[in-house]
Amino acid sequence: MRALSEPHYGVPVDQVVGTEIGLRYNVAGGKSFVVRDPKVTSFENGPLKPVNIERHIGRRPLIAVGNGKSDIETLAYTSDRHGTSLCIVISHDDASREFEYRTDEVLKLAQERGWLIVSIKREWKLIFPK
């Protein structure tokens, strides 16, 4: 995502958080360099999402958008900040136009915490352009 964030969305790389691929220092032929390691050093899921936000950005988000159980901690971390925040939960409730899957836990929490719920069925006129 980092490689696409700035050229396609105008979001600077230092504001993008995600799963991290390992890196390691190497020396060969008298030259030093950093190479990618095939292992994942930080899998971006559940409670690790807000940890990585803090690690890489150092601030709580103003806005968080999620669509499933793995986004609960990021939504909570955002809504628990001092000051105004916006948390949006996408409800995948339109199996005829888009993959439908269970999001009961995050939807229940969204109702309890006052997060905005956006229904694909009711509120999205277009899923993918033709």
Per domain, the residue ranges of the chain are 1-44, 45-130
Handedness of CA 5, 44, 100, 120 (dihedral sign): negative
Chain-wide mean pLDDT for the chain? 87
Average pLDDT over residues 70-83: 95
The confidence score (pLDDT) of residue 115 equals: 97
The confidence score (pLDDT) of residue 126 equals: 74
Q: How far is the C-alpha of 83 from the C-alpha of 16, rounded, in Å?
A: 22
Q: How confident is the model at residue 76 (pLDDT cuts 50, 70, 90)?
A: very high
Average pLDDT over residues 55-70: 90
- Fill in the amino acid letter for 112: E
Strand residues in 1-130 grouped as ranges (E): 20-28, 31-42, 63-66, 86-91, 116-119
Average pLDDT over residues 60-85: 94
| Domain 45-130: CATH class, spelled out | alpha beta
Give the global pTM.
0.75
Per the structure block, which two tokens stand in for 99? 């993959």
Q: How confident is the model at residue 1 (pLDDT cuts 50, 70, 90)?
A: low
